[in-house]
Amino acid sequence: AALLKLLRYRKGGVFFLYDNSQNVVKPQCNNKEYSQMSSANHYKLNKLVRDKSVQRMENEGALVMWRELEQPQRIPHLLKKLHEEQLEVQSAFSMGDKKNMTNELSDLMDVITALADAADIKMEEVMASSEDKKRTRGGFGRGIYVDKIICPEGSTFDVYCARDPEKYPLTN
Model pLDDT for residues 29-64, shown as the tens digit of each residue: 445 555 555 567 778 888 999 999 988 988 888 888
What confidence tier does 10 reach under pLDDT thresholds 50, 70, 90?
Answer: very low
- Average pLDDT for 158-166: 93
Give the separation between CA 59 and CA 102, rounded to whole angstroms: 26
H or E segment to which residue 6 belongs: strand 5-6
What confidence tier does 128 reach under pLDDT thresholds 50, 70, 90?
Answer: very high
Give the separation between CA 48 and CA 81, rounded to whole angstroms: 7
Inter-residue contact 11 to 58 (CB < 8 Å): yes
Inter-residue contact 7 to 18 (CB < 8 Å): yes
What confidence tier does 12 reach under pLDDT thresholds 50, 70, 90?
Answer: very low
Model pLDDT for residues 63-122, shown as the tens digit of each residue: 888 888 888 889 999 999 999 999 999 999 999 999 999 999 999 999 999 999 999 999
pLDDT of residue 61: 80
Highest-confidence segment of 13-27, 106-120, 136-150: 106-120
Inter-residue contact 58 to 9 (CB < 8 Å): no
Inter-residue contact 2 to 20 (CB < 8 Å): yes
pLDDT of residue 96: 95
Q: What is the pTM of this model?
A: 0.70
pLDDT of residue 24: 54
Give the separation between CA 137 and CA 134, rounded to whole angstroms: 5
Q: Which residues of 69-79 are buried (b: 16+ CB within 10 A; e: fewer)?
A: eeeeebeeebe
pLDDT surpasses 80 at 8 = no
Tell which residue, 143, 139, 148, has the closest CA to residue 168. Answer: 148
DSSP code for 36: H
Inter-residue contact 8 to 67 (CB < 8 Å): yes
Inter-residue contact 78 to 114 (CB < 8 Å): yes
Q: How far is CA 1 from CA 4, 20, 22, in A?
A: 9, 11, 15
pLDDT surpasses 70 at 152 = yes
Please, which contacts does 148-156 make with residues 24 or more away whose CB atoms are closer than 8 Å?
none
What confidence tier does 1 reach under pLDDT thresholds 50, 70, 90?
Answer: very low
pLDDT surpasses 60 at 9 = no
